[in-house]
Amino acid sequence: MLPLAVEVVSPDGFSLESLVRFCQLEEKSGGNAYRDLRHRLCEAIDSQAIKLAAAESPRDMEEIKRQFREDMRDDYDALRESLKLEAKQVVGTKEIVISMILTAVQAAAALRGSVLNTVPGILAGTGAAVAIGGLYSTKSRFAVTRRGVLERHPTAYLYEAKGGLRL
């Protein structure tokens, strides 16, 4: 039954080294999230195997296989789309926008040698700290949201094994 799930994702993105590295992530501290994703994929495959075993004819078996492939492809596509939307939302957050504005202002001030350059170093350091804190906060929120999205999709293990989308 596994070949049906693998058909969902092109095997071109998988090398033996990358698969071994991914499996090693499961063994590390915090690897339980990857194990959970693998178990969800296995549950989907097991469910399909039960349906195949109950099929009454070869024609029914082919239909079950076709539907499983379609469901897995749809799930994979929905997963990718959800994660892309989440990433786009992160780019528009106030933390990212403020960080970009602060960076642009500081760069412009440095290039022009303007009055902004005479602002005490502590104020510039505070702006940098605010920007870094905002970026860290945004990354953390994205990680939590991303994990929730991954947990809703049985194909998430394949997505993560292939490299996934990260910030």
Evaluate whether residue 146 is within a structural domain.
yes
- Both tokens assigned to 22: 């991914």
pLDDT tier at 18, thresholds 50, 70, 90? confident
pLDDT tier at 10, thresholds 50, 70, 90? low
Evaluate whether residue 33 is within a structural domain.
yes
The count of C-alpha atoms lying within 13 angstroms of the C-alpha of 134, restricted to the half-sphere facing its C-beta, is 20
- State which residues form the domain around 21: 2-162
Evaluate whether residue 19 is within a structural domain.
yes
Q: Please give the C-alpha separations between residue 57 and each of 44, 54, 61, 163, in angstroms, as whole numbers.
A: 22, 9, 6, 39
Percent of the chain residues past pLDDT 70, beyond the cut: 61
Evaluate whether residue 90 is within a structural domain.
yes
- State how far the Cα of 27 lies from the Cα of 39, in Å rounded to an integer: 15
Domain tally, the chain: 1
Instruction: Write the pLDDT tens digit of every residue in 32-84.
Output: 888 899 899 999 999 998 999 999 999 999 999 999 999 999 999 999 999 98
Q: Note the pLDDT of residue 108.
A: 67
Tokens 């910030």 belong to which residue?
167
Global confidence as pTM: 0.69
Evaluate whether residue 24 is within a structural domain.
yes
Q: Note the pLDDT of residue 165.
A: 59
Evaluate whether residue 39 is within a structural domain.
yes
Q: Note the pLDDT of residue 146.
A: 87
Evaluate whether residue 167 is within a structural domain.
no
Q: Note the pLDDT of residue 107.
A: 66
